Structure 1
Amino acid sequence: MTPEILLNRLRGMPVDAPLVFKTDEGPIGDGYHVTELKYARVTSIDCGTRVAEWTEAALQLLDGEGGGHMPVGKFAGIVSQSIGKVKGLANSPLHVEFAHENSGMRIYALGEPDFENGEVSVSLSESRAHCKPALDYAARNEGAACCGTGVTGSQCCQ
């Protein structure tokens, strides 16, 4: 999901409906705050010594302590204004940075917004680390692993 896709999905929802982000641990606290929308250009080197470049976007949320969940229209306005001011933000892959009670921040992938029972909910699923060469190797070799003691001569985990 990108900020632009999220914004387009939210435009079909009632603007006054509360927007509630939900993790496996429960919903974000009402009164949450959008601390920032970030756009980053990343250059990395993986464990197979491959250099890669990409852009990404992050939505950082501060857990709330009361006062009601942010309405869809207000959140959509924040995203729209951010897209207008930050070149490249609109179409970059988006993740969420958040921690319940604002401690132990985690990275989450966004689900599709869903309107039910008078609120719009967006499920957040935890991300995990991946060995990119292992994923590529498995895709090319029908699920075989490239890391471990039985593999020699691969470009994985050098």
Structure 2
Amino acid sequence: MNAIDKTPSSDISLGLLLEPLTGSGDLPLVFRYDGRPVKPGYHVTEVKAGQFSALDCGANPEAWAEIFIQLWDVEEGGRTHMLAGKFAAIIRKVSEHVQLDGSAKLTFEVSDGVQPMQLYCASTPVISDAVVHIELVPRAASCKPRDRWLAEQAHAAGCCGSANSAKCCG
């Protein structure tokens, strides 16, 4: 397996999604979700960008940018999977009309036109067998105050156990 990034992560930004596609434009781009690949006739039906302001469950103000890419997972007579270069060109075309922040949170909306749309985050693209694969992972709800607390605990555990513990934990 020839991986672009051998440690795939979920919840990447638009910029991190597009960066590895630039050198892989002639390769098919296959998204996988719910344990299966999208059908060869899939379409990018919509790309939208939003700026959000909210109050989380701990009464903390939140603000973020998010980009939504909608995939319509359909079979269309004799079509093959979209090439990575075509996908990148679609995003470039959208960016001519809509300001897209490459560091924005990226969400995929996927439906086959029958089932309700589901939300997914993307993993780092991986090249295998001359195909660019992108795994879409269901986007779960989360509690931002809890997530921040867990991140602080992980940082403190890593920092306090190191030679720099006087700087971190002092």
Verify same fold: TM over 0.5. Answer: yes
Deviation per residue, 1:37-60 (Å, 9 max, x gap): 110010111111112111111111
Q: Tell me what 2:15 maps to.
A: 4
Q: Does 1:34 align with 2:44?
A: yes
State the percentage of identical aligned residues. 33
Structure 1 or 2: larger helix share? 2
Q: Secondary structure at the match of 2:102?
A: coil
Q: CA deviation at 1:23?
A: 1.4
Cα separation, partners in 2 of 1:102 and 1:110, compared to 1, 3 Å: farther
Cα separation, partners in 2 of 1:16 and 1:25, compared to 1, 3 Å: same
Q: Tell me what 1:65 maps to.
A: 75
CA contact (8 A) 1:7 1:80 kept: no
When the two chains are superposed, the root-mean-square deviation of aligned CA atoms in Å is 2.1
Cα separation, partners in 2 of 1:52 and 1:76, compared to 1, 3 Å: same
Q: Does 1:25 align with 2:35?
A: yes
Q: TM-score, normalised on structure 1?
A: 0.79
1: CA distance between counterparts of 2:120 and 2:134?
11
Q: Runs of at least 4 residues of structure 1 off by over 6 A? A: none
1: CA distance between counterparts of 2:144 and 2:109?
22
Deviation per residue, 1:61-110 (Å, 9 max, x gap): 00121321111111110012222332243331212111356412221111
CA contact (8 A) 1:62 1:98 kept: yes
2: CA distance between counterparts of 1:50 and 1:40?
20
**One-letter amino acid of the structure 2 residue matched with residue 38 of structure 1:** K
**One-letter amino acid of the structure 2 residue matched with residue 56 of structure 1:** E
2: CA distance between counterparts of 1:95 and 1:113?
15
**One-letter amino acid of the structure 2 residue matched with residue 116 of structure 1:** S
2: CA distance between counterparts of 1:140 and 1:2?
22
Of 39, 64, 82, the match for 1:54: 64
CA contact (8 A) 2:29 2:132 kept: yes
List runs of 5+ in structure 2 lacking aligned partners: 1-11, 155-170
**One-letter amino acid of the structure 1 residue matched with residue 115 of structure 2:** S
Q: Does 1:97 align with 2:109?
A: yes
Q: Tell me what 1:150 maps to.
A: none
Q: Does 1:112 align with 2:124?
A: yes
**One-letter amino acid of the structure 2 residue matched with residue 94 of structure 1:** L
Q: TM-score, normalised on structure 2?
A: 0.74
Deviation per residue, 1:116-140 (Å, 9 max, x gap): 2222111111121111122223344
Q: Tell me what 1:149 maps to.
A: none
1: CA distance between counterparts of 2:14 and 2:111?
20
List runs of 5+ in structure 1 lacking aligned partners: 143-158
Instruction: Report the count of equivalent residues.
Output: 142
**One-letter amino acid of the structure 2 residue matched with residue 86 of structure 1:** V
